[in-house]
Chain A
Amino acid sequence: MKIVPEKVEMSRQAPKVRVTNFNEVALGYSEEEAQQEAKRCLQCKKAPCIEACPVEIDIPSFIARIIEKDYQGAIRKIKEKNLLPAMCGRVCPQEGLCEKACTLAKKYEPVAIGRLERFAADWELQKGNPERSPLPPHTGKRVAIIGSGPAGLSCAGDLARLGHKVTIFEALHKPGGVLVYGIPEFRLPKAIVRWEIEYIRSLGVEVKTGYVIGKIYTLDELFSQGYNAIFIGIGAGLPKFMDIPGENLNGVYSANEFLTRTNLMKAYLFPDYDTPIKIGKRVAVVGGGNVAMDASRTALRLGAKRVFNIYRRSRKEMPARVEEVQNAKDEGVKFNFLTNPVRILGNSKGWVTGIESIRMELGEPDESGRQRPVPIKGSEFTIGVDVVVMAIGAGANPLLPSATPDLKLNKWGYIIADETTGQTSKDGVWAGGDIVSGAATVISAMASGRSSARAIHQYLMESHKSG
């Protein structure tokens, strides 16, 4: 068999066009393209990609089914391990996981596993009426899941497929967590999120929106309502600020607020939708992660003339996916690497007028192993901007933990949970995703939701025997 060294390209909206709309940038494979790409897979007997996948999808098998044009078989194979494939095919950092481990990647470009996963999922979406294997009889056990992001959804789906009655409590008015408030439409269309949540619902999972657990009910009150176990997947939702002067000026947003207004509340459709957002002419986005890229690209689409990304390390250290950085660059985001804001400037009316930063150089490695950026004395400079978005990470939201005193937290406020099972210090309570690990990825949150589901199932069945 002749090896094709490069991935089949996926078509995308041209940069000049896509910055004028919120539609999805990457358009997906056609059947023919998927066929071509699938045939690049070597079908390794001992497949390293499976091991590298946090949810252990049988990748060679689903790709083999694509080659056979058995698309139903392909999606069935994926869903054995992953109930949210249309989302994961889009936002999972495959380049650091399955595709990094791909045998081809030693010499050539890896198989485009993510794009193939997306192809199979989109095939089912277009067909409609997703296949669902029959559910086992109800075990008589009820599980409450706090948070409807990736961790909660995957935990809920797995438990439902094991015959438990699952209720998800979501604080916002729409389910999906970061998938709806954080990740923009142009990267993950909300119709896709809705579709996959609908599938989870079709497994018998009940989703209650607008329930802020810790306020409306404590965990103990949920137990007394008859829930036998609880999984907490509330994410790391507390926005971080830099603690520099001027951060409370009008026009300074946390990335969470900037993205929530745009994505969840659809401020880009204002005034047809009621939620407004300040549209900057010149916007600075501080941070080097995927959220910073999302915010930068959102600012452009809202109508900003110039968007400046400010990051204190160099491009090499950026935590954002290479693809997202490239997308942002192609769309015209101007990058200022090795630059750190020192203060935000404002006018007498309290509005942002600029951001003053200092140039940095890389020094000795820090605890993360990355070279520590150190300021270059006297190198301060100012960029004139009218909106600033702080995308420097998120911390643990204390709302639920503070209402649950017997839930042990680490010094940063994250919930302490067993690494493999997610079990917490409180009886009958598991936790997973960002509220345990700190800000991470959709797929790692899903993986922890899955492993907690296994542990919760075991717990429920044992207590079933003894009870």
Chain B
Amino acid sequence: MYKILNKQDLAPNIEEFLISCPEIARKAQPGQFVVVRIDERGERIPLTIADYDRDKGTITIVVQEAGKTTCRLARLNLGDTLSDVIGPLGIPTHMENIGTIVCAGGGVGIAPVYPVARGFRQFGNRVISIIGARTKELVIWENKINSVSDEFYITTDDGSYGRKGFLSDELQRIVEGGGEIGLVFAVGPTLMMRAVCEVTRPYKLRTIVSLNPIMVDATGMCGACRVSVGGKTKFVCVNGPDFDGHQVDFDQLLSRQRIYLEEEKKALQSYDSACEHGKLK
């Protein structure tokens, strides 16, 4: 059992959890994730480790409510426990001194970009961070990410905060502006990562994306997370989650992420109605 030590509402339907798991905290590296299972009936979902504190023995995860499991997670509070937190999983983001690196985090990918930006900075890179959200109130972790960045940009789709437009538009401006950029790292919704790759492709600018497909065991055993990279099938859980974005078949990934849309809707409906009738807490 893993105890929730703190919970913070970051934005509508986005919560941050501080979880006690000293062994994982000691080992976690930027880019890695954990698998969380709430209780006996829960499914296993992968969540990126958004931060970790080795001394305090904690990790931070940020959850955006989408399906039944994330909605159930969101209802948990300080002092509640999670049945399982398994990790750290996946290959850590490869860290080296490249020069200038753009770190792009969109939507629910804003928090996960933080440890990566911090890591690259610790390796002596100049870090340009861009975070993008639909609207102002969904912009999270602004100060945290700013604090590990040399340059920092915000975009919102509706222009309510930062520059109006997509994160990829801002990236386009930065790339066009010249300057030596050695690497772009992107994490967030699949469509956003694809857009980032389309910006950098003509410049042959190396782009690493952190993929988030459906997983079950997340240790290489089931193959649910398979994705085509450079024409070869890879398992994101053990071969990734980071891949060369220019090689990823995003259409296939998008399609595979939608496999259980119908079931997810059904699960959420029966959960909501149970909640309304007070059968569940």
User: Given A247-B233, A248-B226, A248-B233, are A173 and B83 also a contact pair (CB < 8 Å)?
Assistant: yes
* Range, interface on chain A: 35 or more
Question: Within 8 Å of chain A (Cβ to Cβ): is B223?
Answer: yes
Q: Is A131 an interface residue (CB 8 A)?
A: no
Contact of B86 among A171, A250, A270 (CB under 8 A): A171
Does A257 lie within 8 Å of B41, measured CB to CB?
Answer: no
The distance in angstroms between the C-alpha atoms of A249 and B267, with both chains bound, is 23
Could you say which residues of chain B place their CB within 8 Å of the CB of A248? 226-228, 233, 252, 256
A274 — which chain B residues lie within 8 A by C-beta? 41-43, 68-69, 72, 267
Closest A residue to B252 by CB, please name it: A248
Residue B5 lies at the interface, judged by CB distance under 8 Å to chain A: no
Cβ-based interface call for A79 (8 A): no
Question: How far apart sit A261 and B84, CA to CA, in the bound complex (Å)?
Answer: 17
Whether A398 and B44, one on each chain, are in contact in the complex, defined by CB atoms closer than 8 angstroms, is: no
A16 CB–B CB distance under 8 Å: no
Docked-complex contact B223 and A350, CB < 8 angstroms: no
Distance in Å from the Cβ of A250 to the closest Cβ of chain B? 5
A156 to chain B, nearest CB (A): 20
In Å, the complex CA distance between A216 and B81 comes to 20
Which of A233-241, A305-313, A363-371 is the interface stretch?
A233-241
- Chain A residues positioned under 8 Å from B182 (CB to CB): none
Contact: A216 with B267, CB < 8 Å? no
The stretch among B123-131, B213-221, B240-248 that forms the contact with chain A is B213-221
User: Given A271-B266, A350-B256, is A257 in contact with B224 using a C-beta cutoff of 8 Å?
Assistant: yes
Q: Mark B31-53, 1 if CB is under 8 A from A, else 0.
A: 00000010001111000000000
Flag if A256 contacts B222 (CB, 8 Å). Answer: yes
Residue A276 at the chain B interface, CB threshold 8 Å:
yes
**Once the chains bind, are B41 and A215 in contact (CB under 8 Å)?**
no
Looking at the assembled complex, report how far the CB atom of A272 sits from the nearest CB atom of chain B, in whole angstroms: 7
Known: A238-B221, A350-B252. Is A272-B41 also a contact (CB below 8 A)? yes
Quote the shortest CB–CB distance from B181 to chain A (angstroms): 31
Most buried by B among A209, A211, A270, A278: A270
Q: Would you call B107 an interface residue if the criterion is a C-beta within 8 Å of the partner chain's C-beta atoms? A: no
Q: How far is the CA of A173 from the CA of B86 in the complex (A)?
A: 8
**Is B238 touching A398 in the complex (CB atoms < 8 A)?**
yes
For chain B, which range describes its interface: under 10, 10 to 19, 20 to 34, or 35 or more residues? 35 or more
Main secondary structure of the interface of A (DSSP, over half): loop
Are B255 and A250 closer than 8 Å at their CB atoms? yes
Q: Is B89 an interface residue (CB 8 A)?
A: yes
Is the Cβ of A210 less than 8 Å from the Cβ of B85? yes
In the complex, which residues of chain A have a beta carbon less than 8 angstroms from the beta carbon of B14? none
B260 at the interface (CB under 8 A from A): yes
For B238, the chain A residues whose CB sits under 8 A away are: 397-399
CB-based contact A216/B216 at 8 Å: no
A127: interface (CB < 8 Å): no
A58 to B217, CA, bound (A): 39
Contacting pair B267 A271 (CB below 8 A) = yes
| B residues 232-274 in Cβ contact with A at 8 Å | 233, 238, 251-252, 255-256, 258-260, 263-264, 266-267, 270-271
User: In the bound complex, how far is the Cα of B222 from the Cα of A217, in angstroms?
Assistant: 22
Residues B216 and A254 in contact, CB atoms below 8 Å apart: no
B87 lies within 8 A of chain A by Cβ: yes
CA distance in complex: A216, B90 (Å): 11
* In the bound complex, CA of A407 to CA of B222 (Å): 24
Q: How far is the CB of B21 from chain A (nearest CB, A)?
A: 10
Which one of A241, A261, A397 lies within 8 Å of B219 (CB-CB)? A397
Q: Return B80 CB to nearest CB of chain A, in Å.
A: 17
Q: Is the CB of B219 within 8 A of A171?
A: yes
Instruction: Provide the residues of chain A in CB contact with B267, threshold 8 Å.
Output: 270-271, 274, 276
Q: Which residues between 240 and 298 of chain A lie within 8 Å of chain B, taking CB atoms?
A: 241, 247-248, 250-251, 253-254, 256-257, 260-261, 265-266, 270-276, 278
The answer, yes or no, to whether A47 is at the interface (CB within 8 Å) is no
B23 and A399 form a contact (CB under 8 A): no
> Closest residue of chain A to B41, judged by CB?
A273
Residue contact A254 to B69, C-beta cutoff 8 Å: no
CB distance from A234 to the nearest CB of B (A): 9
CB distance A212 to B256 under 8 Å? no
With the chains together, A181 CA to B266 CA distance in Å? Answer: 25
A172 beta carbon closer than 8 Å to chain B: yes
Known: A248-B226, A271-B270, A274-B69. A349 touches B41 (CB 8 A): no
**Contact A254–B259 (Cβ < 8 Å):** no
Cα–Cα distance between A140 and B206 once the two chains are bound (Å)? 54
B221 touches A215 (CB 8 A): no
Q: In whole angstroms, what is the CA distance A171 to B222 when docked?
A: 13
Residues in A neighbouring B221, C-beta threshold 8 A: 181, 237-239, 256, 260, 397
CA distance A349 to B262 in the complex (A): 14
Check A212/B260 contact, CB under 8 A, given A173-B84, A257-B223, A397-B221.
no
Residues of chain B lying within 8 A (CB to CB) of residue A266: 41
> What residues on B are CB-neighbors of A215 within 8 Å?
27, 87-89
In the bound complex, do residue A212 and residue B255 qualify as a contact, i.e. CB atoms below 8 Å apart? no
Q: List 17 A-B contacts (CB under 8 A).
A: A173-B37, A173-B44, A173-B84, A211-B86, A215-B87, A216-B88, A237-B221, A239-B223, A248-B233, A248-B252, A260-B217, A260-B222, A265-B43, A274-B41, A274-B42, A350-B258, A397-B219
Contact residues of B with A, CB < 8 Å? 23-24, 27, 37, 41-44, 68-69, 72, 83-89, 216-217, 219-224, 226-228, 233, 238, 251-252, 255-256, 258-260, 263-264, 266-267, 270-271
Question: 10 closest Cβ contacts across the A-B interface?
Answer: A350-B255, A276-B263, A257-B222, A274-B43, A275-B43, A237-B221, A254-B223, A210-B86, A271-B267, A173-B84
